[in-house]
Structure 1
Amino acid sequence: MNILIVEDEEDIRHLLSVNLSSQGYNVIEASNGIEALELFYKNDIDLIIIDVMMPIMDGFKTVSKIRKTSKVPIIFLTARDDETDKVLGFGLGADDYVVKPFSIAEVISRVQAHLRRYIEYGVNNSNKIITNGSISIDTENYIARKNNIDIDLNPKELKILSLFMENIGRVYTKKQIYENVWGDMYHGDDNTIMVHISHIREKIEEDPKKPKYIKTIRGIGYRMEKNYD
């Protein structure tokens, strides 16, 4: 597995590289966003750890460019423990956010968790049937099922559910959901997203008021949880 570390502080970059290499990962290093993009497009990257504050191009701009073409797991690494920064990072498509100073054991644990989800449930899954608990989607025939019984979803609801099923554990903002599903610029129409999420919950949840699958992440958006029922 190839991990791209993007960090302008050499000591931190070296610390991460040594420890991740000891876990069997192949580590590729970059010191700024421009260098990171060049390496990303030249290599088959499985996960990115990226600092926010960097010279030439910061982490936010770098991630926004990567997310145009890739769903690879991205972990932000930063000294800025600010709620606004976290919301912005998740809004751009980050999967996780680690604040400095950090525990190297925690970083490794998060890397392993995100790679596991990416391999099992992400875009690299070669199966045409995506499954989470009692819910499944036939991505070739565009059919959703619960307990092997077809679920009546309209096209937008199916696209939203597919987006979550393909990225279990990832937080999506309303803006990201709208732009992924409707393919248009988001203009702050929160009600449209909320209504569609509500309809999906009514069809897949045992108790829509206490959802087990699609969770609301207050102040950020929504996330699909892994289920084993």
Structure 2
Amino acid sequence: MLKVKRILIVEDDKSIAELERDYLEIDGFFVEIALTGQDGLNKALKEEFDLVLLDLMLPGVDGFQICKTIRTEKDIPVLMVSAKKQNVDKIRGLGLGADDYIVKPFSPSELVARVKAHLSRYERLKGKDVQNEIIILGLRIDQASRRVFVNNHEVIFTTKEFDVLTFLALHPNQVFNKEQLFERLWGFDSLGDISTVTVHIRKIREKIETDPSNPQFIETVWGAGYRFKR
């Protein structure tokens, strides 16, 4: 018997939240709504959800802080939803660990499509048979438990950051441009923003490199893309 996927919507505009809920429920999801940031954060941490739809502009605790906190406790897709169109907000949200950034207004069918795509991809990643570990110098990637260690100290990675790092480490000395990485790791380029690749590479370097400006693991090949040195 298939498990019904549980979605948490954190949105202070009740009409928007109910519209999102209705379309998701039509597609068979179980949906809960939180109308304040604090309520949404409490639900996200205390209850079990498969995905969170998170507005940025919320009373009390804002979406950025909620995303950051969820990422320290949960390994689930987080999709940010906002009327803020500036790239700086997108970059900040993606940098905090959001899996996607959806700009209002949007069509409900597009929202459902993105939710399904992220859930499907997450399930594929969780269900894969993977080799145990990749060890290069002081970097250790445990694929089975999806954990990363730098000099024997565990470093917390978001789902996407782990996917990007593992993909590059499994293809050492090969150059991949942003378009190739986005297509392989996000898998639905028509619905996403390719700038997320740059954001994730920067965050990964900050976590694994002694000097992110002079990386020893993930180097930039100017005009071509990124390469994992081995």
| TM-score of Structure 1 vs Structure 2, range by shorter chain | 0.5 to 0.7
Match of 1:29 in 2: 33
1:177 to 190, 198, 204: 204
Unaligned 5+ segments in structure 2 are 142-147, 150-160, 168-183, 187-195
- So what's the TM-score if we normalise by structure 2? 0.67
Pairing of 1:156-175 with structure 2 (within 5 A): 156=139, 158=141, 159=148, 163-164=163-164, 165=166, 168-169=185-186, 171=197, 173-174=200-201
Pairing of 1:144-223 with structure 2 (within 5 A): 153-156=136-139, 158=141, 159=148, 163-164=163-164, 165=166, 168-169=185-186, 171=197, 173-174=200-201, 176-178=203-205, 180-181=207-208, 189-193=211-215, 195-198=216-219, 210=224
Unaligned 5+ segments in structure 1 are 130-137, 145-152, 202-207, 216-229
Distance 1:47 1:156, change over 3 A: same
The answer to whether the 8 Å contact 2:10/2:53 transfers is: yes
Quote the Cα distance in structure 2 between the aligned partners of 1:33 and 1:197. 36
Amino acid in the other structure paired with 1:56: G
Quote the Cα distance in structure 1 between the aligned partners of 2:14 and 2:21. 10
* Moved beyond 4 Å, runs of 4+: 157-163, 208-211
Percent identity over paired residues: 31
Distance 1:42 1:69, change over 3 A: closer
Match of 2:180 in 1: none
Give the root-mean-square deviation of aligned CA atoms: 3.1
> Alpha-carbon deviation of 1:71?
2.5
Pairing of 1:1-229 with structure 2 (within 5 A): 1-121=5-125, 125-129=126-130, 138-139=131-132, 142-143=133-134, 153-156=136-139, 158=141, 159=148, 163-164=163-164, 165=166, 168-169=185-186, 171=197, 173-174=200-201, 176-178=203-205, 180-181=207-208, 189-193=211-215, 195-198=216-219, 210=224
Superposed CA deviations along residues 17-49 of structure 1, whole A, max 9, x for unmatched, are: 000011001101111221012111232111111
> Alpha-carbon deviation of 1:192?
3.9
Quote the Cα distance in structure 2 between the aligned partners of 1:192 and 1:26. 46
Quote the Cα distance in structure 1 between the aligned partners of 2:101 and 2:163. 21
- So what's the TM-score if we normalise by structure 1? 0.67
Quote the Cα distance in structure 1 between the aligned partners of 2:47 and 2:212. 37
The answer to whether the 8 Å contact 1:174/1:190 transfers is: no
> Alpha-carbon deviation of 1:154?
3.3
Distance 1:181 1:72, change over 3 A: farther
Distance 1:2 1:181, change over 3 A: farther
